[in-house]
Amino acid sequence: MQITDVRVYLSSRNGPTKAYVNLTLDEVFVIRGIKVVEGKNGTFVSMPSRRLRDGDFQDICFPITAELREEIKTEVIDCYEKEIA
């Protein structure tokens, strides 16, 4: 799978979530609601998730391979940094 489009929407709220991202794979599949979050150990990418009844969160969609996860993280962070520059 190849990432064919990344759209970054900067958050206007103060807080750890810095941006929301929509990602297109192979021009046929879109993932909406990816977050760029500023954490204690730096900036990271959070996949779309939902809150469970017990208060925990569960990812709705996520990459299965480490290679795709790294590719998504790198592309999203690069596009986010270009957007804030």
Q: What's the predicted TM-score (pTM) here?
A: 0.88
Domain extent, residue 75, equals: 3-84
Q: How many domains does the chain have?
A: 1
* Residue-level length of the chain: 85
Let me know: does 49 contact 58? Beta carbons within 8 Å.
yes
Residue pLDDT, tens place only, 27-85:
999 999 999 999 999 999 999 999 999 999 999 999 999 999 999 999 999 999 999 98
Query: What's the CATH number where 29 sits?
Result: 3.30.1120.40
Q: Averaged over 11-39, what is the pLDDT? A: 95
- Sheet strand arrangement including 3-10: 3-10, 17-25, 29-39, 42-46
